[in-house]
Structure formats: C-alpha cells, structure tokens
Structure 1
Amino acid sequence: MAIKAEGLANSLHIDQTEEELSTLTGLITTATDLVKSSVNYELDDASYEKFPLFDACVSSLATALYYDRTLENGMPKSTKIMITHLQARLGGK
C-alpha cells in the first residue's frame, strides 16, 4: 500500500525516531488488515491500490489507533464512512 510510516509521521507531526516509525508501521499493518477484512478480504492489493479512498481509510484508522490503541470509542465515523463507500465500490464480502 501507499501508506508509509514516514508519511504518516509527517502528517501527524511525530518525531521520526526508530521507535515511533516501528510503532506506526505496526499500526498501518493492523489498520490495513482491518479495512481489508471489513471491505473484501478476497481482493488483492492491486485492486485496493486503484482507490485513493483506501489509503485515506487506512491512514484514518492508523491515526486513531496511534492515539487510542484499544479504540475504546470504536472506529472513527470517518473511517466507517470510507469503509461503507469501499464496500459499495468493491463488492464487500
């Protein structure tokens, strides 16, 4: 996917230490898996790469996970909206 730890760190104004980048990489991986499993886990990465909305959704969820690792209040509404749109476009299963 196009989301990289360095880019997310820049957008969140987080220092790019080895520890922070490692944390962000793990959160991006988790967010990517959560979004894919919410939309259509059977699709390959190339199918998702066609939709910039996928990267926005992963970025949104990774950001939420950074600030609230347990997602105590659930997924952000913006993430849910993007997942709904991706399901409609990609035939959610």
Structure 2
Amino acid sequence: MIEIVNELLSELNLDINDANTDLINTLVTDAQIITLSAVNSTKKIEDYADNQIFQRAVKTLATQLFYDRTLANGTATGYRMMVTQLQAQEEIAEDDAQ
C-alpha cells in the first residue's frame, strides 16, 4: 500500500510530509475497503494487488475523497465504470470456475 500512497501523493502534487502521508494513507485505506466491498466482499485487498483497474479505482476514489470527503454528489462516473469492469471480471471468473 505504501506504493499506492506515494503514487497518489505525487499525482495530487502534495508535499511529502507526515500530515499528507497520514491523510492519503487513510483515504487509500477507505477507498480500498469501499471498492472491495463493491466488487467482491469475499476477497481480500491482496487479491487485487496486480489488478490495474482496481488500483486506479482506489486512486480515483481516494482522490475524490480528498477533494470531497462527504461525497456529496456520490462517486464519479469514471469510478463507477471501473467498479463495473471489476464486477464483470468477477462474473467471468465465476463462470469459468463452474
């Protein structure tokens, strides 16, 4: 998770200091939990460590939480699109397993 936090600090052009690092770490953790719950709550975050769509969805949601902690207007369309793609991947994986 350290890597995604550092990447997001860079993408948001934030100074690397304890306050920013702690904040982004919290937002990334929240975004991971929310995204995992939306995609497949029976899996672990580690199961998506190499999934680029999952990682981008987490960054997207964490960024949105950074700018709007209450998500007053809901989640962004791009984030919902990525979650839909991840859900489809899960459905395909389930079909292949049967």
Structure-2-length-normalised TM-score: 0.85
SS at match of 2:73: coil
User: Relative contact order (alpha carbons < 8 A, sep ≥ 6): 1 or 2 greater?
Assistant: 1
User: Which residue in the other structure is 1:53 paired with?
Assistant: 53
RMSD: 1.5
Once the two structures are superposed, residues 22-61 of structure 1 have per-residue CA deviations (whole angstroms, 9 ceiling, x without a partner) of 0000000000000000000111334312421000000000
So what's the TM-score if we normalise by structure 1? 0.89
Shift of 1:6: 1.8
Relative to structure 2, which stretch is displaced further, 8-17 or 37-46? 37-46
Alignment coverage as a number of residue pairs: 91
**Match of residue 20 from structure 2:** 20
Distance between the aligned counterparts of 1:40 and 1:2, measured in 2?
Answer: 23
Q: Is the 8 A contact 2:5 2:24 kept in 1?
A: yes
- For the 8 Å contact 1:9–1:15, the answer to whether it is kept is yes
Distance 1:42 1:83 in 2: 15
- Gapped regions of structure 2 (runs ≥ 5): 92-98
Does the CA-based 8 Å contact 1:3-1:59 persist in structure 2?
no
Secondary structure, aligned partner of 1:22:
helix
Aligned to 1:69: 69
SS in structure 2 at match of 1:4: helix
